[in-house]
Amino acid sequence: MSGPEGGVPLLYHHGTPGAVPALGDMERLVHERGLRLVTTSRPGYGASSRQRGRLVADVVADSVHVLNWLGAPRCLSAGWSGGGPHALACAARIDAVAGVLVIAGVAPYDSPGLTFLEGMGESNIEEFSAALEGEGPLREYLTPQLEYFRHISADEIVSSLASLLPDVDRAVLRGDLGTDLAVQFHHAFQAGVEGMMDDDLAFTQPWGFDLSEVTVPALIWQGELDLMVPFAHGRWLVEQLPHAVAHLQSGEGHLSVAVGSLEQMLDELVATL
């Protein structure tokens, strides 16, 4: 946690994989708006013990504990990529949440009218295909990557995620974002692959809540060129959320969609308070 004492907390839910270290630009911009940035590692990531069989909705109980510890009667929720569903779960089930920001967030696997894997890059298709076969095949797929991601550099992220990165995402990874993500990956895999594995398994089964429960403003940002979470996921979320505010961006990818628009995203989110 960081930021001005007494500021409204922004509960930020990291991507898949990810962990508690904050993204530098996000931390600075959150503080400039008088908010406290609160980050956690989901079970199985970093130093957090595994919660076998966890659902997306299980993040709510952990988040409530954090808010109670802070003594915060009001908060905001945000998530990028795999953090998107977790941010929505908090918006659905925690009365203190005034608004939610979803950046390139994944939609539910069994969404009617959405082909979940269509438009994803090759390595994501392989990963989720393994997840659909169960924990054993997914662990077998992820384990060989463990040591590599524990020590990965910013430049190596670009090469290792080649099938998932349009040119606009490659460009932003060569800046501070690449360094920040490398640090997140180092922390994420401290204890093994369990965090990423359980995220993937949770995304391929019911989330444990319904999107109709999200009755606060939901700011949905999605890039047209995204190869990690395809554009159709963002469109589907916009159609399903009762109070969605759509930002479906042409020419943007999974990462670039936020790099140039984070100030606008945060200003809109603060306006929901």
- pLDDT-based confidence at 4, cuts 50/70/90? very high
- Looking at per-residue pLDDT, the higher value among 159 and 84 belongs to 84
Instruction: Map tokens 């009218």 to a residue.
Output: 113
84-101: pLDDT as tens digits: 999 999 999 999 999 999
State the greatest distance between any 2 C-alpha atoms of the chain, in Å, as a whole number: 46
12-39: pLDDT as tens digits: 999 999 999 999 999 999 999 999 999 9
For β-strands 97-103 and 244-249, DSSP reports them as unpaired
Instruction: Map tokens 């965090």 to a residue.
Output: 195
| 143-158 mean pLDDT | 92
Say whether pLDDT at 8 is over 90: yes
pLDDT of residue 191: 87
CATH 3.40.50.1110 fits 9-270, yes or no: no
User: Mean pLDDT for the chain?
Assistant: 96
218-230: pLDDT as tens digits: 999 999 999 999 9
Q: Which of 161, 14, 153, 150 lies closest to 86, judged by CA? A: 14
pLDDT of residue 174: 86
Instruction: Map tokens 């797929």 to a residue.
Output: 141
Say whether pLDDT at 175 is over 90: no
